[in-house]
Structure 1
């Protein structure tokens, strides 16, 4: 049966394509995708325009104890659209980055402590065990070509957006905020260059000359 994903331009998926997808899924190995083990829901806004706020569902995989990489979708549904790619790293690794790069990363401290970052479907105690690690120093870099930011204080998130998510997932941000009051945040505090250094960031495309192959030195003959 053909499948239609609403809101996506193009013809419906044909039966033959759907059958081919089923066959390839049974044969091929999707190693990187199968490493995804965690679903986080949060909110982001465009770094140059706080009025453009989106519900952001992060599907994350641990690369090691200090690095996670996440695919971000606009919903948890099967027809969700991929809207970003983000990494989480420890405070220790963040501090090794060049200063020019630090401003492209943001802290999770407010998101975690306020309760607006949560793991759908998981009991609160299990969530807090993992999110306490995030609060104590994990930082999130921002995607390209459109840089996105995280919430950093009360009053930024649209009330109707917050209430809609709370209702659909059966959560209370205020109650979870109370449960997370013991969390301490990054050991050294939020770095002054993180969160864009307090300023908005916007990436812009520009035209450049492509380097010809012959211009690249040949190391091996």
Structure 2
């Protein structure tokens, strides 16, 4: 039986081993990804509008604290969903964009065929087929090599062959107090409040002025979040192992306080001061009431873990 709070042996990677383990992407894979990126809409991803940096604590062990990066999508006034990463840095090679715009080459000239043709060329090359719009016809290996180099250069100028690699840490859902009060008590225990996190300056939108954020922060103090961590990177997991862990928000009591060195590291990176942020948010009103079912550990001193157990499967198919 596995649990979200258990220790799993063999997690720490060997020195120099990549996380996650695996070979570097091939040129063909990069071409395919770039071609798909240019031809597909990726609408859900494009709906991400905000980046928030904050901190989270494991429900079963509040001494395990991590910096988190939430990428927010607002579905309506009462509901926000967040893809959560362990960093906003790029861990992979990112090839510099030299062009002046989409569909332009190194010297600003328009590439033959435009963006769609370039994407098709990438697919053809990855599949081992000749790409007429971009390169000359040839069957020799030397000419094929030159075609690859030329297409790679075109893709670099079009937007970069490389990709930024981030480790996805989980997902958080954020709801207003109005929605939270409609949940059953057993469900409310899985959620945490945001008021202290915001008032204390732990919750930040990097590069966004506080004056612009103030109305948003005032609304967020009245919200609750449920955050499931799917990859426990803080303990060195090379892959997302075991069941997800429930995460809690920082609080000003007991073990809920974030360790100072984590905050100092964050402040240094973004050139901000948590003390200045706290002062600028003094006038933000705290909620009149925070439901005690949230942040349940403060009242009961207990966290929550998921236990994975075998269970009999339903053998009756819904359709013949």
TM-score by length of 2: 0.63
Poorly superposed stretches of 4+, deviation over 3 Å:
none
CA RMSD of aligned residues (A): 1.7
CA shift for structure 1 position 45: 1.1
Rounded to whole Å, the distance in 1 between the matches of 2:217 and 2:54 is 12
SS in 1 for 2:64: strand
1:10-39: CA deviation from partner (whole Å, max 9, x where unpaired): 110111000000000111121111100011
- 2:21 corresponds to: 9
CA shift for structure 1 position 6: 4.7
- 2:87 corresponds to: 75
Higher strand share: 1
- 1:105 corresponds to: 191
1:48-105: CA deviation from partner (whole Å, max 9, x where unpaired): 1112111100000110011010000000123221011011111000000011100111
Aligned: 1:179 with 2:191: no
- 1:122 corresponds to: 208
- 1:194 corresponds to: 294
Aligned: 1:45 with 2:57: yes
TM-score by length of 1: 0.90
SS in 1 for 2:25: coil
CA shift for structure 1 position 7: 2.7
Aligned: 1:149 with 2:248: yes
Rounded to whole Å, the distance in 1 between the matches of 2:88 and 2:223 is 23
Q: Which has the higher contact order (CA 8 A, sep 6+)?
A: 2
Structure 1 residue aligned with 2:46, among 30, 34, 37? 34
Stretches of structure 1 that go unaligned for 5 or more consecutive residues are none
Stretches of structure 2 that go unaligned for 5 or more consecutive residues are 1-16, 90-163, 230-243
Larger Rg: 2
- 1:64 corresponds to: 76
- 1:89 corresponds to: 175
